Amino acid sequence: MLSPGGKDMKGSISKNNAFLRNLLNKIFLSSVGGARRPPLLAANEVFPESRVLEAHFTEIHQEITTLINKRQLTRYKDIDPVRAAEVSENWKLYYAWFMWEENERARTDCPTLLDLVKKMPNVINATVAVLEPKVTLAAHEGPYAGILRYHIGIEVPENKPPYIRVMNEYHTWQVGKSIVLDDCYEHEVYNESDGQRVILMIDFMRPMIAPLHFINLCCLKMKKRWGGVMIDKANND
């Protein structure tokens, strides 16, 4: 896959510029309580936009259900092989919105979702994530502290429902129920059921004081050029 500048993209978009990323992570996390910050948060407290998404859950649910029934989503190993080797190669993803760039397919695949997130400046990514039966996402930490991650259940098996551990706290997904996780903490996911788990994941900017918010925004916008590249990979174009 070629970069916007015509060169091969090397490594992982989520793990480049390690020195700067690690420095910013320390500053950002220190500003929000360090190790005292909660692993799991109520969506309406830290992500007010969740109320809008959840008010349109019926439409979003139908669009995503139709999408996964008509199209085979791309495995993570074919999108970001470096990161997939650490987490799971068998996680399947669809990017409706990535690094503030829209997936043109989303205009027909999930127009309600796309229209909503385009009006939310703090929303960086909107991803449909499918975890197949008996698949585990290995314990790992998110690489960048400038975001928080919102989950809402789309399809969840009733028998042995899949769950996530974030540090020493647990969350079991339910259809239409949401949670926000601080994925800079170690977390792992288990699907021990015989059915697939489908969720909508929204990455949004971590709430911080104004100077840090601006620094975070600048750093994230520097990666905006990779949005189309990652969307094309997920689309298998």
Task: Name the region of 92 (left: φ>0; alpha: ψ -120 to 50; beta: rest).
Answer: beta
> What is the structure's pLDDT at 152?
99
Q: What parts of the chain have a pLDDT lower than 70?
A: 1-16
How far apart are alpha carbons 215 and 200 in whole angstroms?
27
62 and 189 Cβ atoms separated by less than 8 Å: no
> What is the structure's pLDDT at 88?
79
How far apart are alpha carbons 150 and 97 in whole angstroms?
14
> What is the structure's pLDDT at 9?
47
Domains annotated for the chain, with CATH where assigned, are 38-235 (2.60.120.330)
> What is the structure's pLDDT at 217?
97
> What is the structure's pLDDT at 14?
56
Inter-axis angle of helices 210-222 and 18-31, to 10 degrees? Answer: 150
> What is the structure's pLDDT at 17?
77
210: number of Cβ within 10 Å = 7
